Amino acid sequence: IDIFFTLSVDTIGWKRLLTAVENSYVSINPYLIEFGDDKKPLVVSDHQEILGQLKLEKLPQIEHGLARHAINIRYQTKRKFMDASAGLGIVNIEEDGDGVLRRLPIISEVNGRLAPHFYLRLLCEHLSYKIENIEVVSKHKLILHDIPIGDAVKDIEIPLDGKGNVLINYISYDKIEKLSLSGKFKSVSAWDIITSGRPFTLEGKSVIFGDTSVPAKDHSITPIDQRMFNPLIYVIAMSNILNEEFITPARGYTTLLLVIGLLSLLMVLASNLDVLRFALISTGLLIGYIVFNFSAFIYLGKLIPILSVILPVITAFGYMLIYLVYQSQVTMGILEGSLKSYLSPHLMDKIKNDPDILKLGGERKRISVLFSDIAGFTSFTDKADPAEVQAVLEEYFSEMTSIVFANKGIVDKYMGDGIMAFFENPVDGVTSAQAAVKSAVEMQDKASELDKKYKVQNRFPFSVYVGIATGYAKVGNIGPPEKVDYTVIGSVVNRASRLDSAGTAGDILMDEDTYFFVKDDYEIEDFGSHELKGFEKPVQI
């Protein structure tokens, strides 16, 4: 009877009720206790009469600290009802911090005795089960030894949360509804029983009699329903025991181990993957953990921590991701700064926009190739100090390379005192020849400036040869995997190299294909046909 019969103005019918309770001797009545600190146990002398009424002498002893214990008896029903009861049970209900009821204190300690909750005491009475057979193994395990379930007698292990509470498996509520349809479980209004005009059979059944009226406020918020009457919650808890459908809460150290394990895995991933793969795999890992968590709860009844694990892991994941992005940017900056010494800005931009151009093999393109050499450089190196030769080369390479880069050319390589560069065409036009010739004119102008400067310094007369050829070549990353260069291969390269040495210092020599694209832009002199080394037919220059 989940109702406190205390002092009341309206006591009509109490005598008949008490007589019925005394005659049947099958009712379980409630009492409410106050839980307290382990260091403040209930003092027997303060509640001697009440403790006697609670029939503690019939309850088994429990080791102190295995369950929460009482420091006070808050409410109990009238003594006559307590004396006429077959047993008593606590009806304490404590919601979680968010106001949701997820657990019930299946056992508690009252003055060193095991005090069962109302629903457990009712179940024991229903099955004619002796409470003395209950063993509290630890804070996390309760065993009902030799409990009769149907035709079998078995031991049922009930997982606890460390405080004598059992997590309510509300999923079994669906089964209870099915039992209701089959007639094994039924919720009936007392008024319907009174007015039915026929006997209502309760033989062989457990009945929880409670006040479900709105003013009674005997309901709780649950994870599956906004409000549920507490008597029904007790039925669900009893069903959990009968069907052994428990939710096993994780131990305290489980959260720490999971956090350490997931963080270690994230660190391994962060050490071995790039930013994108780390982000994708780590996100999948976190989603997988949540899916695993819910699956373990629904199918295995295992309550594995979510928020207490996910929150620190997500925080660490965010930090690692930010750090990896920062590191990648730093690395990219360092790499870009280093590559600027090897690649032209134009090529750097192309690689950023289309990394596929770095694939081995290259592709066939129409390009213009430029070769430049210093006139008389061999004799200069024989007479000059190596430091002076280096200074001249550094200034020459720097000035000429800047000109090539300014015209979106690519310096392929330096060969002694020579420079090889090539110019590609954009997607929407053919400009390589114009860019190559424009670079060559600017290079000759710069050579004149350097010649004036070196004359003042009493150095050798400075002048350069320039040869330009236009045609098709293989362009891209070429070479074995051990040493790859972004370069060009084709006869157009050889032709430009031969043109470079065919004229005199200060000349810009070009082939017919180059001339075709720039003939309207410059005054160009026909140099005639010349036999070049490596070419069978004379080349028009």
- In this predicted structure, the answer to whether residue 317 has a pLDDT above a threshold of 80 is yes
Residue 155 CA from chain centroid, whole number = 42
Counting every residue, how long is the chain?
541
Torsions phi, psi of 424, nearest 5? -100, 160
Cα 513 from Cα 527, distance rounded (Å): 14
Residue 397 CA from chain centroid, whole number = 51
Taking residues 138-154, report their average pLDDT. 91
Q: Residue 170 CB: number of other CB atoms within 10 A? A: 20
Taking residues 361-384, report their average pLDDT. 87
For 307-315, the CB contacts below 8 A with 24+ separation are 308/255, 308/259, 309/255, 309/258, 309/259, 309/262, 310/286, 312/259, 312/263, 313/259, 313/262, 313/263, 313/266, 313/286, 314/286
Q: Give me the half-sphere count of Cα atoms (radius 13 Å) on the Cβ side of residue 136.
A: 29
User: At 388, is the pLDDT very low, low, confident or very high (cuts 50, 70, 90)?
Assistant: confident
- In this predicted structure, the answer to whether residue 360 has a pLDDT above a threshold of 80 is no
Cα 439 from Cα 168, distance rounded (Å): 83
Taking residues 23-42, report their average pLDDT. 81
Q: What is the pLDDT, as a whole number, of residue 383? A: 84
Beta strand pairing call for 529-530 and 485-489? unpaired
- In this predicted structure, the answer to whether residue 74 has a pLDDT above a threshold of 90 is no
Coil, helix or strand at residue 297:
helix
Sign of the dihedral through C-alpha 51, 57, 61, 62? negative
DSSP code, position 103: E
**CA-based nearest residue to 488, from 502, 503, 477:** 477
Q: What is the pLDDT, as a whole number, of residue 273? A: 87
Torsions phi, psi of 41, nearest 5? -75, 165
Structure tokens at 51: 């403790």
DSSP code, position 273: S
Q: What is the pLDDT of residues 230-275, one digit of tens each?
A: 998 998 899 899 888 888 888 778 888 888 999 999 999 988 888 8
Pair 518, 434: CB distance under 8 Å = yes
Helix extents (H) in 296-385: 307-339, 345-353, 377-383
SS (H, E, C) 179-207: HHHHCCCCCCCHHHHHHCCCCCCCCCCCC
Q: What is the pLDDT, as a whole number, of residue 137? A: 92
Q: Give me the half-sphere count of Cα atoms (radius 13 Å) on the Cβ side of residue 408.
A: 11
Helix extents (H) in 344-385: 345-353, 377-383
Q: 455 vs 143, 180, 345, 385, 451, CA distance in Å?
A: 105, 111, 33, 17, 6
| pTM of the entire predicted model | 0.60
- In this predicted structure, the answer to whether residue 343 has a pLDDT above a threshold of 90 is no
Cα 46 from Cα 534, distance rounded (Å): 118
Structure tokens at 361: 């093999």
Taking residues 2-18, report their average pLDDT. 83
- In this predicted structure, the answer to whether residue 449 has a pLDDT above a threshold of 90 is yes
Ranking 37-41, 117-121, 148-152, 263-267 by mean pLDDT, the lowest is: 37-41
CA angle, corner 345, sides to 449 and 433, nearest 5?
A: 65
Q: 458 vs 164, 396, 452, 454, 455, CA distance in Å?
A: 101, 17, 10, 6, 5
Cα 48 from Cα 412, distance rounded (Å): 102
Torsions phi, psi of 205, nearest 5? -120, 155
Share of the chain above pLDDT 90, in %: 34
Mean pLDDT over all residues of the chain?
Answer: 85
